[in-house]
């Protein structure tokens, strides 16, 4: 399916994480929210992700 920039629909199912790590330790990302306009409106969700930062040597 085409993206919004390509004349398609707005996709709320995308998360982009950018940046440069300053330490060699894990980065934790926590996401929480509620559904809207779906088959399960008002359902809550939460998810935690861990990104392992490694040296590029």
pLDDT in tens, 12-43: 677 788 888 899 999 999 999 887 776 777 78
Confidence of residue 11 (pLDDT cuts 50, 70, 90): low
d(CA 50, CA 29): 6
pLDDT at res. 3: 59
End-to-end CA, the chain:
38
Give the span between the Cα atoms of 38 and 46, in whole angstroms: 17
């Amino acid at each position: 399916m085409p993206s919004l920039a390509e004349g398609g629909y707005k996709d709320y199912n995308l998360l982009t994480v950018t940046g440069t790590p300053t330490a060699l330790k894990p980065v934790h990302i926590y996401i929480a929210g509620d559904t809207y306009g779906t088959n399960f409106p008002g359902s809550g969700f939460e998810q935690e992700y861990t990104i392992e930062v490694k040296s590029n040597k």
